[in-house]
Amino acid sequence: MASVHLARADGSPGFEKLLALKWIHPHLAEEQGYIEMFLDEARIASRITHPNVCSVFDFGEADGQYFIAMEYLVGEPLSRVHRRVVANADQRTSPLLPARMAHIIAQACEGLHAAHELRDVDGESLNVVHRDVSAENLFVTYDGTTQVVDFGIAHARQRLHHTEAGQVKGTFPYMAPEQMTAAAVDRRVDVWALGAVLWELLTLQRLFLRDTDVNTMYAVLSSEIKPPSQLRPEVSPELDDVVLKALRRSPDERWQSTREMGTALRRVLSKQEELVGPAELADWMRELFPDGGFPMPVTKGGSRIPSAPPLPASLLLIVIGVATVLTVVALDWLRQ
């Protein structure tokens, strides 16, 4: 629906700040439904102020294009962290892996809880539900912080765009059973998704993904969910219990909030002999990605790249150039 580019905001002399600028794809800019979803994402995310949620600074329209100006996160999607661990034998067998992954998800629990608790100016709950929690939409920075990103299909009471009856939204391997059947959803579908993500992080295997969407849906609805310790003996019984409770098919039997789940994870971590916190995660991230953490400069050959027209809130977009041709560089490319 959109692409993300690196940008720079210039202010008073000497002030500059790197941003992530999200633009709706041009071929979707005339589709009212996509515009509404894009603006809904901006409105929801901009209201959340929490260290475990990617901040939104500004959103609007410039020269006929809709944009969201977001915090530039220096780190890696959790999905890439997962792949890096799988590819390294020492990382796969590390006894610290369960604690590291549990700490990452405990932070995500707090970010999602902040979203779930969001209220309007009258104090009424906005009933925000992310609906698309996955390892792709959780981001681990090089300073050891987990950030929840991409509220593009989030459910909320004051959305402009509303899901049609019977329409299913989400990523199949992480969708809760009630979400899969297009039933009413609440914050507990995000609890389920976090449980599925954590199960995969602990076992380094896929939980529900199958060869087709239909088989994946069937697995979500009926396949056996083994305790992670059956596939990784280092996982403690207490951590097994946290994961399996998040993956109860009846919402009433799950953790009733992501905070409740995060608290349970922190209790498990408090019993570990080895300390695993943000500092330790930061060291681990540097170990996994020794060349990471250095954003590409926004100048080339000592000359400044010409700026785009002024954006609202006094933002000046400096588009990254390659040779003499102006272009933009997606964040995914920057992290390769």
Q: What is the largest CA-CA distance in the chain?
A: 61
Q: How far apart are CA 211 and CA 200, in angstroms?
A: 17
Q: How far apart are CA 30 and CA 24, in angstroms?
A: 10
Tokens of 148: 């929840």
291 part of the active site: no
Side-chain-side CA neighbours of 283 within 13 Å: the count stands at 7
Q: How far apart are CA 20 and CA 40, in angstroms?
A: 18
Identified catalytic residue from 40, 58, 132, 240: 132
**3-state secondary structure (DSSP) of residue 21:** strand
Strand partners, 62: 65
Q: How far apart are CA 177 and CA 164, in angstroms?
A: 18
Residue numbers annotated as active site: 132
